[in-house]
A and B are shown apart, each in its own frame.
Chain A
Amino acid sequence: MSQQPVRIRRALAAALCLSLIAAACGSDDDEAATTTAAAATTAAAPGTTTAASEGTTAETTAPTSEETTAESTGDTTESTTEATTEATTEVTTEDTASDTTEASAAAFQVPTDNCPADATEPLADGAPIKLGFIGPQTGPLAAFGVIGQGMKVYFDKINKEEGGVDGHPLELVTKDDAYDPAKSAPAVQEALEGDNIFASVFQVGTPNVAGTRQLHADACVPQALVGTGFPAWGDPEHFPWTSGGIPSYTVEAKVWVEFIKEKFPDAKKVAILTFNNDFGKTYKTTLDELLPDEGYEIVADVAHEATSDLSNEVTQLLAGEPDVIIGGTTSTFCTNLITLARQGGFTGPIINSYTCQSIQQFMVPAGEAAANVFTLVVAKDPSDPSYADDEGVKQYLEDVATYGPGIDAKVGNVFTGYNAAFMVVDALTRASAMDGGLTRANLMNAFWSYDLQTPIAIGGIAHVDGVTDAYISEFGVMSEYDPAGQTYKVNDGVEIDVEGQGGVYSG
């Protein structure tokens, strides 16, 4: 990034009572373990570590060595133990692919005792690596199907330019479940048994993932980088074969509360709108807990159905005369909320879910009403002119033009797929170098040990270690949207880096 964003030191750790990862300051293992254990208080917020103490006592060498390597190359993204009451945040700009190559000592090992033999057998030389994308290709959410297109572009690029990974060409297998969890199970079964996929990537839909978790675990096939932010996917102890790929909604809600405190210190009354499903309820639960603790009054707490046009709900929100409105919803509901709230006379700030950050799809249709709207921007939008010179975006646009002519590269979901494929290739490369070669077990271990800067991420490092940090994407910039320029004012935004503080799912 060319300009220094405004940094605000924040007392996230103290305020949110999250544990900090053992620092990259070279502290010895025992100290790291006790510090983590001591700091693992989980008072207010769900999704923070309780399993950390058990985990760290078992594997204390690898996490610190990873961080030490990161530190010595000049990049720090974790909070240090020295500043237990503050979290300093810094943005790294240099490194591209992960280069922490303690390939043999992966931080986390999936248990393989109950697995069929092919979980630990290396893939035959030259055999294709089949990656499954099971998601909605038809039905009301078919727009997510283009994620598969983005994935294919990147896989084709790697196949053409590098001959695949470790000599294995990459093959994408897509299955349709029309976003219906009842159709996911047969689709996954077919992918597992009929196509014999090596791993499933970026499966979409919280109930769809929940319903097929056990199928993947039984077959010992990675269900990696799932495209839902439900916090339960950060549970490597109970479901090691499932890992999340997008920021957790719990973490996002916490970020909102902190942001309101910082940016709108005079605000007292908050109105909340959430989608009446697990996605919205995750927001609601976190907000309902945190806001009163911080002294805010929740004047309206409304949940809406998928069939609503929001006019009733917005009337309820505005009736409480809030200072801030929080929209824990997605898709065109965000646009409706903004338009209707402004029409109703509300001029205050509106906070938007990060799932709505697509400028073309959700912000432009709101027009001028989208001023004074804030979102946790986590991804670079390919249609945003301010990223025209960004390396990652330029490469992506080139690759789509070369390997996927006819695909509209400006659609954010295509970039999402491309990015997911980027992360998969990184994991495959690391897994091939591990002891035992490219096996499903090693691949899952690689999925639990990321330390990577991705092309789509606005900043920060994608990091998990499967032991104390189970959430991969915990960086964003709370930015105001600029309707005139149709862009986010990221440079004036508030950077949030809670990398590692999401901890591990604690049920």
Chain B
Amino acid sequence: MRSLPLVIERRSTAHRSLQLLGVLVAFAFYLYVVGVVENFSAIRWAVAVTLAVAILGLNIVTGYSGQISIGHSAFFGIGAYTTMILIADHGWPFLLTLPVAGALGFVVGAVIGVPALRIRGLYLSLITLGLALAFPAIVKSDNFFGINFSSLTGGSNGKVISSGDVTVKSGFHWNPPSWAPDGWTTNDWVFTTVFAIAIVLFALSSNLVRSRVGRGLVAMRDNEIGAAVSGVYPAQYKVLAFATSAFVTAIGGGCFALASTTIGPDTFGLQRSIEFIAGLVIGGVATILGPAIGGGLGEWLPYWAYEVDWPLLGKLEGPQSGILYGLILVVIIFFMPGGIVYGLRQLRSKFIVFVPRLPVPQDISAVGAAARAAAAGEPRPDSIDPVSPPPDDATASVQ
């Protein structure tokens, strides 16, 4: 009988089985939303998933690269409006609009990343704040650098597409395909689409942060000078961090347009940006699962705060539900300062600890013998690097 915590080596069979279990849990969640939850709540879950994708994007630039951005509502809005305009005004199929939305987000993100080369920390946040404030105003403006944005975006009236399943005049439908199970509604199909896209993006992000690029971003966050000295070119990485993050958030915005079917300029203002930051922090900065939790809470927490029938108090009226919402956030941060994922990790560490797989020690005896032979009798210390080639002249052997 082993004592807790269990020590499991990464990439071992036990580890892989646990990961498979995680995938099954995700699948079970999917089935729960599609099968069990009421139809009108399924669409709220879809919106929650799109918020999770948006926060995933924010995580790349704020969590992993250390550049605080309170302007991500603008990228979210760029993605949403691109998708809306292409679908409603030009009749594009939904999936084709996502690369366009992402590309536009990428470009704008890169442009925003350029000031980041010169400015750090809170001062950079001010620039991103400007972006969050400017976006709704630009959307509503008649003349911004000569472009009439409000006729393109519908101005303050917002834009609408219908994802209903009745044949009506609005034209766009996201109905379940013929091979879908019976009883699936439009909302279920919207959720499926959005969930699938989210899974893909989460997997890609997970790979990104584990790659060389991801390590470079983290190094840049923790010690910029040290990272620069080690070969992480800051200008390139900072701009790319913004661009990639905006790309992901914009795709989240495109999915949001599908899920919520109607958007307006004030949906993408400063409040949304703050919601993203709050969701990221509550979920867990610099984790992959954190954004998922943050997105879910961002959508459901205000709703529960308003709708829940408390035993003694009844339903909270209006603004009082806001107080409850704030209180819950404070309590979560107080007990789990790193966010919910960190709290869960601490809990998990009482039962399971993951240890990295150690590299296999190499046989250095041959190298040592060769070195001794080359050095002709001089004593060699044991701490020889087994990888470097043996020195080819006598003086180099002195450590």
Contacts and interface: CB of A to CB of B under 8 A. Distances in A.
Interface of A: 114, 137-138, 142, 145, 176, 178-186, 189-190, 192-194, 206-207, 210-215, 217-218, 276-279, 281, 305-307
Contact of B156 (A138, A186, A192, A278): A278
B41 A181 contact: no
A212 B264 CA distance: 12
A214 B170 contact: yes
A211 B260 CA distance: 10
Interface in B301-345: 302-303, 306, 317-319, 321-322
B44 interface: yes
Interface string B124-168: 000000000100010011000000000000011110101010101
Interface string B365-398: 0000000000000000000000000000000000
A186 B43 contact: yes
Given A181-B264, A182-B267, A305-B137, A138 B164 contact: no
A206 B160 CA distance: 13
Contacts of A210: 157-158, 160, 262
A184 B262 contact: yes
A218 B260 contact: no
B264 A207 contact: yes
Nearest to B141: A276
Contacts, number: 106
B25 to A, nearest CB: 25
Given A211-B160, A217-B168, A307-B133, A194 B140 contact: no
A277 B137 CA distance: 10
Contact of B267 (A137, A181, A278): A181
Nearest to B39: A193
Contacts of A114: 166, 168
A201 to B, nearest CB: 18
- The B contact surface, by secondary structure, is helix
B258 to A, nearest CB: 11
A145 B322 CA distance: 14
Nearest to B263: A182
A218 B168 contact: yes
25 contacts: A137-B306, A138-B321, A176-B318, A180-B266, A181-B158, A182-B47, A182-B267, A186-B47, A189-B40, A189-B187, A190-B40, A190-B41, A193-B39, A194-B38, A206-B157, A210-B157, A210-B160, A214-B170, A218-B164, A276-B141, A277-B156, A278-B156, A281-B155, A281-B156, A305-B137
Contacts of B164: 214-215, 218
Interface residues of B, number: 38
A244 to B, nearest CB: 15
Residue in B133, B166, B262, B303 whose Cβ sees the most chain A Cβ within 10 Å: B262
A137 B322 CA distance: 10
B313 to A, nearest CB: 15
Contacts of B319: 138, 142
A217 B166 CA distance: 10
Contacts of B162: 214, 218
Contacts of A215: 164
Contacts of A281: 155-156
B261 A137 contact: no
Nearest to B260: A182
B140 A276 contact: yes
Contact of B318 (A138, A181, A193, A279): A138
A212 B261 CA distance: 9
Contacts of B260: 182-183, 185-186
B264 A211 contact: yes
A309 to B, nearest CB: 15
